[in-house]
Amino acid sequence: MKTATMGVKKLDAQTIKSFASRNAIMLVLLGIVLFVGIIRSSFLTPENLVNILRISSVRAIIALGVGGILIARGTDLSAGRTVGLAAVISASLAQRADYASKLFPDLPQLALAWPFLAALAAGLLVGLLNGVIVAFLNVPPFIATLGTMVMVYGAESLYVDRPPRGAQPLGGLRDDFTNIGTGGTGTWNWPIDIPFIILIAIAVAFVIFVILNKTRLGKNIYAIGGNPDAAVVSGVCVWKNLLLVYAIGGLCYGLAGALLASRTGGATNNYGNSYELDAIAAAVIGGVSVWGGVGKVSGMITGVLIFEVMNNGLVILGVSAYWQQIVKGIIIVVAVAIDIQKYVKKR
Mean local confidence (pLDDT), 153-181: 89
Residue 131 has pLDDT above 60, yes or no: yes
Assess if residue 42 is contained within a domain. Answer: no
Assess if residue 159 is contained within a domain. Answer: yes
Structure-derived torsion over alpha carbons of residues 212, 213, 216, 222, reported in degrees to the nearest 10 = 60
At residue 90 the predicted structure's pLDDT band, cuts being 50, 70 and 90, is very high
Assess if residue 254 is contained within a domain. Answer: yes
Assess if residue 124 is contained within a domain. Answer: yes
Residue 7 has pLDDT above 90, yes or no: no
Rounded CA-CA distance 337/331 in Å is 10
Lowest pLDDT segment from 8-22, 167-181, 241-255, 331-345: 8-22
At residue 344 the predicted structure's pLDDT band, cuts being 50, 70 and 90, is low
Assess if residue 321 is contained within a domain. Answer: no
> Residue length, the chain?
347
Residue 9 has pLDDT above 80, yes or no: no
Residue 129 has pLDDT above 90, yes or no: yes
Q: What is the pLDDT of residue 342?
A: 65
DSSP state string for 86-154: HHHHHHHHSB-TT-TT-SSTTPPPPPTHHHHHHHHHHHHHHHHHHHHHHHTS---HHHHHHHHHHHHHH
Mean local confidence (pLDDT), 326-342: 75
At residue 170 the predicted structure's pLDDT band, cuts being 50, 70 and 90, is very high
Quick one: which of 201, 186, 181 has its CA closest to 304? 201
Residue 31 has pLDDT above 70, yes or no: yes
Q: Which residues of 265-293 are buried (b: 16+ CB within 10 A; e: fewer)?
A: bbbbbbbbeebbebbbbbbbbbbbbbbbb
| Model confidence, pTM | 0.90
Quick one: which of 271, 269, 299 has its CA closest to 283? 299
Q: Give the burial class of 80: count Cβ atoms within 10 A of its Cβ; 0-12 exposed, 13-18 middle, 19 or more buried.
A: buried
Assess if residue 305 is contained within a domain. Answer: no
Quick one: which of 63, 94, 56 has its CA closest to 208? 63
Contact present, 225 and 71 (Cβ < 8 Å): yes
Contact present, 300 and 64 (Cβ < 8 Å): yes
**Count: domains in the chain:** 1
Assess if residue 90 is contained within a domain. Answer: yes
Query: How many CB atoms are located within 10 Å of the residue 73 CB?
Result: 19
Quick one: which of 104, 96, 253 has its CA closest to 176? 96
Q: What is the pLDDT of residue 346?
A: 60
Lowest pLDDT segment from 35-49, 67-81, 134-148, 267-281: 35-49
Assess if residue 303 is contained within a domain. Answer: no
CA 103 to chain CA mean position, Å: 28
CA dihedral (21, 26, 32, 34) positive or negative: negative
Q: Per-residue pLDDT tens for 269-313?
A: 999 998 998 999 899 888 898 888 999 999 999 999 988 888 888
Mean local confidence (pLDDT), 81-94: 96
At residue 22 the predicted structure's pLDDT band, cuts being 50, 70 and 90, is low
Q: What is the pLDDT of residue 214?
A: 96
> Which domain does 267 fall in, by range?
56-274
